[in-house]
Amino acid sequence: MRTLLALLAALAAGALPGAAAAETKCSVDKFLEFPVTMVGLRPMVPATIDGHEVRFIADSGAFYSSISPGTAAELGLKLQSAPPGLIVRGIGGEANMSIAIPKDFGLGPSILHHVQFLVGGSEVGGNAGLLGQNVLGLDDVEYDLANAAIRLLKPHNCPHTILAYWAADKPISQLDIETPSEARYHTAGTVLLNGVKIRAVFDTGAPVSMLTSAAAARAGVKPDSPGVTSAGFSSGLGRHTARTWIGPFQSLKIGDEEIRKIHLRFGDLGDVDFDMLLGADFFLSHRIYVSNAQHKMYFTYNGGRVFDLSVRPQETHVAEPQTIANAAPTATPAPAAPDAAKPPEAKPADGPEPVTAADYSLRGNARAARLDFVSALADLTRACELAPDNADYRYQRALVLLRTGRRPMAMADLERALTLKPDHADALLLRANLRLRGGDRAAARADLDTADRVLAAPSDKRLELGHAYEAVGDLDAAIPQYDRWIAAHPDDSRMPNALNGRCWARALAGHDLAGAISDCDRALKLRPHTAAYLGSRGLARLRNGDLDKAMADYQAALAIEPKLAWSLYGRGIIEQKQGLAAQAKTDIAAAVALEPDLPERARKIGLAGAPD
C-alpha cells in the first residue's frame, strides 16, 4: 500500500534543505501549516481532491485519513476492497471500510498523487472526511486552534528541550505521552481524575471532551449520583449513538495542569480502549505541542472555558466555574481562578495579527468557537470590509449574528451572500430556516428548491433538506431527500434520525405505511427506547389501521416523554374509537395545550378519527 506517510515524508525531507547532521543546537523547522476554520467545534482544513475544493476535519483521533461515502460518491471516486477484516472502531460502534485513490490530492502548497484513503463511517458538517494521524503524526505537530492553525514540525537535536517555543513567561504544562505504536497511532497519556489514573486520548475530531461511564464510575460518579443530569446522545464514527450525562468532579489533572471543581460529560461509549477523549473544546482553550520524538506533550492555557457542556453543542452553554492551576515550577503565577458566577473570560491567544481577509475570517471563526462573540464579529466584519465580494465571510458573520440575537442583520448578510453566490447551499438552507420561522413558507420553499437543484445527489446536506421540506409541509419533496441521503450514507451515526424522518414523512403523507413502519423499526433497532421514534411508528400504525400496536407505541413513547403532543393526540383518537370518551378528551386537551394548531394539521392530512 502506497501510504500518505511516505509521500509526506518525502515532502518533509524536501522542505528542510538546511538541516545539517552535524548541527548540535536545538532547532524546530515548520514544513507545513494548515489554516483551520472552526465550524462550531469542528476544525476544518482546506484541501482539493482531483481539482475539487473540499474540507477535512483535522482529527488527531483518527489513525488514518478517510473520505466519507457521500463525498466519494459525489466526486465519482472508484472504490476498492479494503484488506480483509479492516473494520474501524470508535464512538458509535464500527464501520466497514473501502479504499479510494484519487488521482490528485492537494494539501497546503503541494499536490500528491494516487494517495490512498479509507472510505466509510459518518459525515458531519459538510466535510469530505478526516485528516488523521498518518498526516498529523508524521513528526511533531502543534495544535493552535485558537489562532486557526495546525503546524507540522521537524525538531533537530532537541531530546530534552521544552518545545513550547511561544510560551515566553506563560506557565508551561507537560504530560508524558505514549509512543505512537503504544498509542496505536493516536496521542494518548495517563491523567488523574479525582486522583484515579485514567487513559486519555487527545482527539481534535471530537467536538467535546467526554469520559466513558466506566471511568466516571471509577472516579465515583454514576448516572444516578447527586448533581448528574442527562446530556442527550453523542455520535461518532459508526451508526450507533451513545447516551450521555454531565456530572460533577473534584479534579482533573493533566500533566502539570489541574482543573478543579468541574463538570464533565460521560457516556456509554461502547468497546473503546480509552477512558477519556479530550476534544476540540480542550484544544481551543490550550496551545499544544505534541513531541512524538520525546513522547511528551507541552501546552499552555489560553483562558476561557475548558470544556463545552452544551446539551446541544453550540446552542446552550452551561456557565461552568473552572479553576486552572499549573503545578510546574515557575516564577510566573498560574492563571487566576475565574469568577464562579460567570463563565471564564476567553483571553486573546498569542499569535500574529491578521493581515488579509482570510486571516481575519480564520481568527473570527476561532473566536466564535471560544464564545468570544464580540471579538469574532469584529474580525468577521473586517474580513467583509477587506473582501466585500466574498460570500463565505458574509455567511460566517450571519451565523455569529444569529448567535447574538441579531436576526435582521444576519438576514441582510445572507441576502448579500446569495446575491454574490446564488448557489451557496449553506446560505440557502439557513435563509430558508429563517424565512420559515418568520412565517414566509413560499419564500422558504423557493430557497429549498434552489438548494435541491445545486446539491449533488449524494450530498450530506440532503438530510437537512429533507427535514426542511417536511417543515414547510411538502412531504412529497421531503421523502426523496431522505431516500438519497440514506442510500449514500449507510454507516452514518445519523442513520436513526434519517430513518425516523422518512418514517414520519411517510406517516404524515399516508404513503407507503408499511415502508414507514419498517423505517421506524430500523431506527428503533439502532437506538432503542427513543420516544420520538415510537411516536412516529405509532402514527404510521394508526393510519394503517393497527390500533392495538399503535396504542402500544404511544403508551411506550409517553412513558418516556409525557409531553409528546402528537402521541397524546394519537392516543386520544384511538381512545375515541374505543369508546373511552373521558380519556380521549383528557389526552386531546393536553395535546392541544402543547400545540394549539394540531387538530387543524391532523385534519389537513386526512387523519381518520380526528375530532371536529
Whether residue 114 contacts residue 101, with contact meaning beta carbons closer than 8 Å, is answered with yes
Core vs surface per residue 305-319: b (16+ CB within 10 A) or e: bbbbbbeebbeeeee
| Residue numbers of the chain with a pLDDT score lower than 50 | 1-2, 5, 14-22, 92-93, 237-239, 312-323, 326-346
Q: Which runs of consecutive H residues, i.e. helices, occur in 78-221?
A: 133-136, 213-218
CA distance 90 to 108: 28
The predicted pLDDT at position 341 comes to: 32
CA distance 285 to 302: 5
The set of cell numbers assigned to 319 is 456557565
- Sketch out the chain's domains with CATH numbers: 4-156 (2.40.70.10), 173-326 (2.40.70.10), 357-421 (1.25.40.10), 494-612 (1.25.40.10)
Q: Give the containing element (helix H, strand E) for 483.
A: helix 475-488
What residues have CB less than 8 Å from 21, skipping those under 6 apart?
none
The set of cell numbers assigned to 321 is 466555574
Whether residue 115 contacts residue 147, with contact meaning beta carbons closer than 8 Å, is answered with no
Whether residue 610 contacts residue 573, with contact meaning beta carbons closer than 8 Å, is answered with yes
Write down the residue that cell numbers 441579531 correspond to.
406
The predicted pLDDT at position 15 comes to: 47
Secondary structure letter of residue 221 according to DSSP: -
| R_g over Cα of the chain | 26
Whether residue 493 contacts residue 237, with contact meaning beta carbons closer than 8 Å, is answered with yes
Nearest to 280 by CA among 33, 61, 45, 125: 61
In terms of Cβ atoms closer than 10 Å to its own Cβ (0-12, 13-18, 19+), residue 91 is buried
Q: What is the pTM of this model?
A: 0.83
